[in-house]
Amino acid sequence: MGPSWSIFQIIEASKLLAMCDLEYYFIQKQGDDRLPSLTPDENTVNRNYSFEPQPNGSAPFMFSDGGSDYARKLGIVPFKELPDILFDGSNLLVRNHIRGALLALDLPGVHIHPAVFVDAYKNWHEDYWFLAFPERLDCWDRKLSDFEDEPLELGGFKLHGVYTYVLDAAVLDSIPLHQRLLFKMEGRWRLTSYAIKILPLSSVAMATAAPCW
């Protein structure tokens, strides 16, 4: 039987130390090779889909399971039942009910665009939405987090490999709560993560979530 996870059932948390850390979770893909490996089509790539807001009414983004043929050669049978969240690398696609909950929160800086996913069995799924974050939030504490000293320079950015996060309370406190309920983190590469604040997003939850220490 395939996965039937809710948004919080696939959320994991790093071991965090500050009080503000206990309010946030990281959204990460589970390590299961039966999950789809999303590949955008050429038109989607040419539209800078991962960070550029799209005009209202423009065509949906198109994705396929680019890793399914290779998975089958390894004897891996792709899931037929898809989870509510799909991962395109560090990007998220969410189903209608999650999109509705996010829209109700009127989150600034989060752009939601329709997406179509063609699965390994050539079935079209038109109930997904792509979440784009034009800006990222750099809020992990450089003094208390455990990370590699030498950054990786990529595209003009210096990115650190972070092993254990401690969020910077001063940075978070300087930002209105409404603007930091859901964000993509800046300045790290080892854990590509979206941080989600649990309590204000309880209306999205379908199951009880607990930190995974």
The token pair at 132 is: 């784009």
pLDDT given for residue 4 in this prediction: 38
- 141 or 17: which carries more pLDDT confidence? 141
DSSP reduced 3-state for 165: coil
Residue 3 lies in a domain: no
The rounded percent of the chain whose pLDDT value lies above 70 is: 75
**Spatial distance between the Cα atoms of 39 and 64, rounded to a whole number of angstroms:** 5
Spatial contact of 111 and 90, defined as CB atoms under 8 Å apart: no
**Spatial distance between the Cα atoms of 184 and 177, rounded to a whole number of angstroms:** 15
Residue 50 lies in a domain: yes
**Mind listing the pLDDT tens digit for each residue in 1-53?**
444 333 333 333 333 334 455 677 777 788 889 999 999 999 999 999 988 99
**Spatial distance between the Cα atoms of 100 and 81, rounded to a whole number of angstroms:** 21
The domain tally of the chain equals 1
Question: Residue 11: CB partners within 8 Å, gap ≥ 6?
Answer: 25, 26, 27, 28, 196, 209
**Mind listing the pLDDT tens digit for each residue in 163-212?**
777 888 899 889 888 888 888 877 554 444 455 654 333 333 322 232 32
pLDDT given for residue 162 in this prediction: 77
Q: Average model confidence (pLDDT) for the chain?
A: 77
Residue 153 has pLDDT above 80, yes or no: no
Task: Look up the domain containing 113 and give its range.
Answer: 8-137+168-204
Please report which confidence band the pLDDT of residue 127 belongs to, taking 50, 70 and 90 as the band edges: very high
Residue owning tokens 């000293």: 149
Spatial contact of 3 and 200, defined as CB atoms under 8 Å apart: no
Residue 199 lies in a domain: yes
Residue 52 lies in a domain: yes
Cβ-based neighbour number of residue 56 at 10 Å = 6
DSSP string, the chain: ------TGGGEE-----SGGGGGEEEE---S-TTS--EEE-HHHHHTTTTTSPPPTTPPPEEEEETTHHHHHHTT----SSPPSEEEETTEEEEEHHHHHHHHHHT-TT-EEEEEEEE-TTS-EEEEEEEEE-SS-B--B-TTTSEE-SSPEEETTEEEB-EEE--B-HHHHHTS-GGGSSEEEB-SBSSS--EEEETGGGGGG-SS------
Please report which confidence band the pLDDT of residue 86 belongs to, taking 50, 70 and 90 as the band edges: very high
